[in-house]
Amino acid sequence: MALLLAPRLAYFAGVARTEHVTRAAQEMNVPQSTLSRAIARLEEDLGVDLFARRGRTLVLTTAGRAFLASVERALAEVERAAEEVRADADPATGKVAFGFLHTMGAETVPGLLHAFRAEHPRIRFGLVQNHGEAMLEGLRAGRLDLCLTSPVPDAPDLVARRLDEQKLRLVVPADHPLAGRRRIRLAEAAEENFVTLEPGYGLRRITDDLCREAGFAPRIAFEGEEAETIRGLVAAGLGVALLPPPTVPRPGVVELTVTAPRAVREIGVAWPAGRPDTPPVAAFKTFLLSRRGNLLP
């Protein structure tokens, strides 16, 4: 029913405002016959008379007056939504829904936004921090325009471009027997308890893949949702972890360079395939792609 009624609501409101089909047709720039048919079909669909005819004048009935109040609210909401969409697409002042990993929130993303807004000072951002799978779902659902994620996704409904890579280190407690080392082969940690992110996080997947490449499955002692929490658990002696470098060095841990296998995570930008970009999104996408190899501080 709603789909049938929707196209006729503006016509009804116009006639209700003027109380005259001819004047309403002139104001709305539609044929009078179209307007008359729309009102007649609306009354037929609702099963009530919305207007009382008095010569050429139409007067709202009690039902029509009650219906008009709701119609005016609905039309105002549609207009508000249209204005919001137009504002978000404005080349100079529009909005970008941008997702990124928690580990990129302290330094990388603020630096990127600062550099971008030097050229586009009025573009607005809706920022979302989450793990990779959740952000890819946000792209598919239309909640995000772009996201920085790792690993770089390979999916037919998404477009992804590699931007940079980040070395991962084996983080051990400061009093751990390995803490005196500077470098380590990951296979040497095969008997250690690992502290990792939960399944679904990109860094967890990378950790599992690197351990498998080193010839073992990691023995998981604790799982968390944020890299610095994981580092804190390592500092408390609860295990070791593969993590990107911290923004600020944390006491209580030692970070070892992994010599084999090559321990890095690729950082990429992803967006939905086939979805047209608004001018603000296109500008920010171009900016991100221009930072290839120079994304991370």
Written as tens digits, the pLDDT of the chain (297 aa) is 444 566 788 889 989 888 888 888 888 898 988 888 988 999 888 899 999 988 778 899 999 999 999 999 988 898 888 888 888 889 899 999 999 998 898 889 999 999 999 999 999 999 999 999 999 999 999 999 999 999 999 999 999 999 999 999 999 999 999 999 999 999 999 999 999 999 989 999 999 999 999 999 999 999 998 999 999 999 999 999 999 998 888 899 999 999 999 999 999 999 999 999 999 999 999 999 999 999 987
pLDDT at position 79: 86
pLDDT at position 233: 96
Starting at the edge strand that comes first in sequence, how are the strands of the sheet with 158-167 ordered?
A: 124-129, 95-100, 146-149, 264-272, 158-167
pLDDT at position 25: 87
For the chain, the first-to-last Cα distance in angstroms comes to 56
Amino acid at 111: G
pLDDT at position 55: 75
Q: Distance of CA 164 to CAs 43, 160, 264, 288, Å? A: 62, 12, 10, 11
pLDDT at position 3: 45
6-11 long-range Cβ contacts below 8 angstroms, 24+ apart: 7/38, 8/38, 8/39, 8/41, 8/42, 9/42, 9/71, 9/74, 9/75, 10/75, 11/35, 11/38, 11/39, 11/42
Question: C-alpha 261: how far from its chain's center?
Answer: 33
Short-list 78, 79, 6, CA closest to 42:
6
pTM, to two decimals:
0.78
What span, in angstroms and rounded, lies between the C-alpha atoms of 61 and 53?
10
